[in-house]
Chains A and B, each alone.
Chain A
Amino acid sequence: GEDVEQSLFLSVREGDSSVINCTYTDSSSTYLYWYKQEPGAGLQLLTYIFSNMDMKQDQRLTVLLNKKDKHLSLRIADTQTGDSAIYFCAESIRPGTASKLTFGTGTRLQVTL
Chain B
Amino acid sequence: GAVVSQHPSRVICKSGTSVKIECRSLDFQATTMFWYRQFPKKSLMLMATSNEGSKATYEQGVEKDKFLINHASLTLSTLTVTSAHPEDSSFYICSAPPGTSGRFTDTQYFGPGTRLTVL
Binary interface encoding of chain A residues 17-49 relative to chain B, with 1 for a CB under 8 A from any of its CBs, else 0: 000000000000001010100001111110010
Q: How far is the CA of A48 from the CA of B46 in the complex (A)?
A: 20
Contact status B43-A48, CB under 8 Å? no
Q: Are A42 and B102 in contact (CB under 8 A)?
A: no
Chain B interface, DSSP helix/strand/loop, else mixed = loop
Q: Mark B19-39, 1 if CB is under 8 A from A, else 0.
A: 000000000000010100000
B93 touches A43 (CB 8 A): yes
A96 engages B105 (CB within 8 Å): yes
A96 with B110, Cβ < 8 A, contacts A8-B41, A105-B42 known: no
Question: How long is the Cα–Cα vector from A63 to B117 in the complex, in angstroms?
Answer: 37
The answer to whether residues A43 and B103 also contact, given A8-B41, A105-B42 and a CB cut-off of 8 A, is no
Q: How large is the interface on B (under 10, 10 to 19, 20 to 34, 35 or more residues)?
A: 20 to 34
Residues of A close to B108: CB separation below 8 A = 45, 99, 101
B34 to chain A, nearest CB (A): 8
Q: How far is the CA of A4 from the CA of B45 in the complex (A)?
A: 12
A97 close to B (CB within 8 Å): yes
Contact of A96 among B4, B45, B107 (CB under 8 A): B107
In residues 32-72 of chain A, which contact B (Cβ within 8 Å)? 33, 35, 40-45, 48, 50
How many Å from the CB of B33 to the closest CB on chain A?
10
Contact residues in B for A33 (Cβ distance below 8 Å): 107
Neighbouring B residues of A48 by C-beta, 8 Å: 104, 107
Measured in the bound complex, the distance between the Cα atoms of B92 and A42 in whole Å is: 10
Q: How far is the CA of A101 from the CA of B107 in the complex (A)?
A: 10
* A-B pairs with beta carbons under 8 Å apart, 17 shown: A4-B43, A40-B112, A42-B95, A45-B107, A95-B104, A95-B106, A96-B106, A96-B107, A97-B32, A97-B97, A97-B101, A98-B32, A98-B49, A100-B34, A100-B46, A102-B46, A105-B42
- B positions within 8 Å CB-CB of A: 4, 6, 32, 34, 41-46, 49, 93, 95, 97, 99-108, 110-113, 115
Q: Across the A-B interface, give the 4 residue pairs with the lowest CB-CB distance, nearest first.
A: A96-B106, A42-B110, A95-B104, A97-B97
